[in-house]
Amino acid sequence: MIARDPRDDRWRAAQLALDRFESGRTEVPESAEEASMTGLLELLSDLPPAGWQSVPARPERRGRGLPRVGRRSLRLLAAGAVAACFGVGVLVGSSIGTGPGIQRLRGHEVVLRPVLSGAGGAALAVMPAPGRLILRVEHLRPSQPGTYYELWLMTDLRRLAPVASFRVGRSGEVQLSLELPDAAGAYRYLDISLQRLGAGTAHSSDSVLRGPIA
Amino acid sequence: MAPPPPDLNAEARTPARGSARRDSRATEALIARRPEAIALVMEAHGQVLLGFLEGLLRDRARAEDVLQQVLLELWERGPTYDPDRAGLLTWALTIARSRALDELRRRVPEPLDPATMSERLGAEDHQADRLLEQWRLAGMLERLPRDEATLLRMRFYEGLSQSEISAQTAIPSGTVKTRMVNGLRHLRDLLEREEAGA
Contact across the interface for A47 and B137, Cβ inside 8 Å: yes
- Local structure of residue B110 (DSSP, 8 states): S
Interface contact A67-B167, CB threshold 8 A: yes
Q: Does A165 touch chain B (CB under 8 A)?
A: yes
Nearest to B196 by CA among B82, B93, B90, B85: B85
Q: Which of B32, B121, B16, B62 is nearest to A197 (CA)?
A: B16
Instruction: Give start-end residues of each CATH 1.10.10.10 domain in chain B.
Output: 145-198
- Contacts with B, A 130-149, CB within 8 Å: 143, 148-149
Q: B143: Cβ–Cβ under 8 A, 6 or more apart, which residues?
A: B15, B16, B17, B19, B20, B190
CA dist., res. A67 & res. B109, Å (int): 51
The pLDDT assigned to B29 comes to 93
pTM over 0.90: no
Domain covering B145-198, topology: Arc Repressor Mutant, subunit A (1.10.10)
For residue A124, pLDDT over 60 is answered with yes
Residue B149 CA, distance from chain mean position = 14
pLDDT-derived band at A51 (thresholds 50, 70, 90) equals confident
Of A2, A55, A167, the CB nearest to B2: A55
Q: Are B141 and A40 a contacting pair at CB < 8 A?
A: no
Q: Long-range contact list for A65-71, CB < 8 A, 24+ apart?
A: A65/A175, A66/A134, A66/A175, A66/A177, A67/A177, A67/B164, A67/B167, A67/B168, A68/A177
Burial of A116 (0-12, 13-18, 19+ CB in 10 A): exposed
Probe site for chain B from A148, A179, A201 (most B CB atoms < 10 A) = A201
Which range of A81-90, A179-188, B143-152 scores highest in mean pLDDT? It is: B143-152
The DSSP annotation for B75-103 comes to HHHGGG--TTTS-HHHHHHHHHHHHHHHH
Across the interface, which of B5, B133, B191 has its CB nearest the CB of A59? B5
**CB contacts, 8 Å: B161 with chain A:** 22
Mean pLDDT, chain A, whole residue set: 71
- Where in the sequence of chain B do the CATH 1.10.1740.10 domains occur? 17-105+115-143
CB within 8 Å of chain B, chain A residues 82-101: none
Average pLDDT of the segment spanning B106-110: 63
Helix%, strand%, coil% for chain B, nearest 5 = 75, 0, 25
Q: Which residue of B has its CA nearest to A45?
A: B156
Nearby residues of A88 by Cβ (< 8 Å), 6 or more positions away: A82
Q: What is the CATH architecture assignment of B17-105+115-143?
A: Orthogonal Bundle (1.10)
| pLDDT for residue A144 | 79
Helices and strands per DSSP (H, E), number in chain B: 8, 0
Chain-centre distance for alpha carbon A123:
14
Distance from CA of A154 to the nearest CA of B (A): 14
pLDDT at A1 over 70: no
B153 vs A55, A61, A148: nearest CB? A55
Specify the pLDDT at position B118: 62
User: CA nearest B16: which of B192, B196, B186?
Assistant: B186
Phi, psi torsion values for B186, nearest 5 degrees = -60, -40
ipTM of predicted complex? 0.76
